[in-house]
Amino acid sequence: MKVDLSGQKILVTGASRGIGRAIAIQLAGAGAQVAVHYYRNSNTAQRVADEIGGGAQTFQADLCKPVEVLQLFENVLAEFGRLHAIVNNAGIAMSSEVEGDDIAFADAWSKTMLVNLHASGLLCKKAIEHFTCCGGGRIINISSRAAFRGDTADYLAYAASKGGVVSLTRSIARAYGKQGVKAFIVAPGFTLTDMADDFIKKYGESYVKSDLALTSITKPEDIAPTIAFLASGLADHATGTTIDINAGSYVH
């Protein structure tokens, strides 16, 4: 079954690299016009937009700053006129030891929540407002395996933030379905991205693989097709659901 996203306009946060880049490429390949959000590297984001074509444009925002999060949504609407879906993909994972400095722990906790949960919540709010007055739309939030099985002791904030994303998405699905808003959760396991490098350096690739039912670690390209499928409308009656993509390392 071929996914057709022709005519759709979709915002993807954190789309300049990793999972977000793979998602942007997949969506554009199915016919969507993609808003490529990035934080720092404008050149990398522009290369993604140039690669995928189809009227893709880049948009900068620091997701730690609520004002910039809100402005991001308004800037995309100003350029695109309409959005049909939003993919809240951007995220950070900051290591912080419980036994370490209290202020450092609190700082890492706050930044993690701001990017992973608060920014997603604000963008969901704006998307709901837009979708309910413009014929509906789809929200796809990228959570994590860590939301369900927990994470290592130094990534408590990451796991907690991704758990919040799950509750947020399920609540949206239940509350706004009759207004045409569908919401989905995709929960990857360990994925080969730049963000994962620190973990691999600390624990080793063999440690990561020992957890898997498959022989290889998940790549961003293994996740992107599911996002396109959810954006297509072919799975609307699965609104509120979680799709695990973790190489069989956690099944629930």
Active site residues: 158
Catalogue the E-assigned strands of the chain.
9-12, 33-38, 57-60, 85-88, 137-142, 181-188, 242-245
Place of tokens 């949206």: 172
| Three-state DSSP state, 209 | helix
The terminus-to-terminus CA distance of the chain in angstroms comes to 27
**Which DSSP helix (H) or strand (E) runs through 61?**
none
Q: Name the β-bridge partners of 245.
A: 188
Question: Within 10 Å of residue 214's Cβ, how many Cβ atoms?
Answer: 12
